[in-house]
Structure 1
């Protein structure tokens, strides 16, 4: 009887861990920002989540050359291409469809903000902020089908 109980508990623990991992990975995939001008691919490395600029509606500047990270405060990074730029870094799944402890980079301003993300089906609420979450801005991204 003791062995049966142990096996059942072990099975439940594995099942629970697997279900939690699947829930955490619900964020994986491609998302579009509210303007529809950018697609961000969210992927996982280890147990953290990242996002990179995967598609840009207007990929070239006024001279016809690919856009670069010209607003970056680090002069060495200003010439890197905007396409493929990592915007989301180091997010951890915190349960209840929330991802925390990450940052979001805004290539339009060259600034990096603390960030929290909350997924609700095919909607992803992005909250970038300085210091505390009350001092920030939110936007809703939609999953690309």
Structure 2
């Protein structure tokens, strides 16, 4: 049950409503740290984000997330579960939900990141790997082995 709760939490965190996508077994193919900068989207278009250089680390802001929208499909929900009461009335539109990713040249990936789960108000650890031109965003609690990966493709 603990594993199921973690998987559910990550799915909500990534705002994609995904239950886990297959992860390619190929090695990371990133040429350098700036390779993740751009706009990325899941194949089912349930999550769209913009990765950007945050001055020594990398981060992402939400462009669209199906689970972050009100019933009208156009208005973003409020950040009602934020642990900071002062932020609970802010819109989830454009929030930076992925932060502090650092390029790890030895491993060919971005590590030590944090991903914010707006549905629970929790923050999880995150890492990103580029495989076959796709971005694998992994959120986890404790160890990456206990996490879940969402695969995104570059749109710009």
Question: Shared topology, TM-score over 0.5?
Answer: yes
Give every structure 1 segment of 4 or more consecutive aligned residues whose post-TM-superposition deviation is greater than 6 Å.
none
Q: Which residue of 2 aligns with 1:82?
A: 92
- CA-CA distance at 1:117 after TM superposition: 0.7
Matches within 5 A, 1:49-128: 49-56=58-65, 60-62=69-71, 66-95=76-105, 96-128=107-139
- CA-CA distance at 1:36 after TM superposition: 1.3
Q: Which residue of 2 aligns with 1:36?
A: 45
Q: Is contact 1:54-1:83 (8 Å) kept? A: yes
**Do the aligned partners of residues 58 and 73 (structure 1) sit closer, same or farther apart at CA in structure 2, a change above 3 Å counting?**
closer
Over the aligned positions, Cα root-mean-square deviation in angstroms equals: 2.3
Separation in 1, partners of 2:83, 2:69: 21
**Do the aligned partners of residues 115 and 62 (structure 1) sit closer, same or farther apart at CA in structure 2, a change above 3 Å counting?**
same
| Runs (5+) with no aligned partner, structure 2 | 1-30
**Do the aligned partners of residues 111 and 35 (structure 1) sit closer, same or farther apart at CA in structure 2, a change above 3 Å counting?**
farther
Separation in 1, partners of 2:82, 2:42: 21
Separation in 2, partners of 1:97, 1:39: 23
Q: Normalising by structure 1, report the TM-score.
A: 0.73
Separation in 2, partners of 1:34, 1:68: 26
Q: Normalising by structure 2, report the TM-score.
A: 0.69
- Asked if 1:144 is matched to 2:142, the reply is no
Larger radius of gyration: 1
- CA-CA distance at 1:35 after TM superposition: 4.1
Q: Is contact 1:31-1:40 (8 Å) kept? A: yes
Aligned residues: 124
